Amino acid sequence: MSRYLELLAASSERVGSSLCVGIDPDPSHLSPEHAASVAGLREWVRLLVTATAQYAAAYKVNLAFFEAYGAEGVALAEEIRALTPAETPIIMDVKRGDIGNTVKAQARALFDALDADAVTASPYLGIGALSPLLERDDRFVYLLCRTSNPESAELQELRLTATGGAPEEELYLRVARLAAARPEALAGRIGLVAGAKAGGAFGKLREAAPSLPLLVPGIGAQGGDLAMVAQHGGATAGGAAGRFGGGLLVNVGRGISGEASAAGEARLTGGALEEAIHARAAEWGRRLAILAP
């Protein structure tokens, strides 16, 4: 079992759920004070973490919202590890992917400079091209597989012919099957991003890759199928299957911070906002507790 999956299992057991809290500072969901500067953004991150720490099995950072503030925003992203509990995994949601030395540089940036425990990455250039990310035995990579955006089927459900021992199947299932067959999967260093709005595709994905941990977006503000995730989300084989939570993380971002930030036309600030976020995180912690064995 990899360091990351050990860390995740311990964190899931500590909080009693599979909740991953999204750190997604979209200015349209922030108060003017928080959105106006990096100092305000830092205060928002501190508030969010304080309000959710007892419920978060992990945090997923959408790095683009920090990069949008320029160098100071990136510098704040480098502080996030220090702003969050050391025992709680940090996932950098960056969807990186390239070849050769570029991926080596991405690995240094994400794992060393930002101190991410896990990252999201695109397998489109071939999973082997991600080797500099995958070879770190102290880190973890979630491959994009079947995402929750409306356009996902355009490519992800393209039908492939049978080849190399793989059956005729959709592209997302081929990604899942190839990932599950890699040695890094046996070592506990690969998982999949599987959107909660994927419908029947979600169950098929789990059949193709029964051992791979899943990161599931699309539950909160996007209204994904929680019952489906509860049925198929946990790993049913391999090392993750025997660990608390089955390697499953369900991300909720806007459903916690976005909905809590607005009250009618007014935006909550300070202690009122922290209380609202805390209440939303507690609610999601209860809803997702059923997913933990």
Residue pair 24/292 in contact (Cβ under 8 Å)? The answer is no
Nearest-CA neighbor of 76 among 63, 85, 89? 63
Identify whether 104 is a catalytic site residue: no
* Residues pairing with 169 in the sheet: 160
At 234, the amino acid letter reads: G
Distance, C-alpha 148 to centroid of its chain: 12
CA-CA distance, 270 to 278, in Å (whole number)?
12
Q: Which of 60, 95, 197, 204 is catalytic?
A: 95
The CB-based long-range contact list for 148-157 (8 Å cut-off, 24+ gap) reads 148/195, 148/196, 148/197, 148/198, 148/217, 148/218, 148/222, 148/224, 149/195, 152/195, 152/198, 157/201
Q: Which residues are catalytic?
A: 95
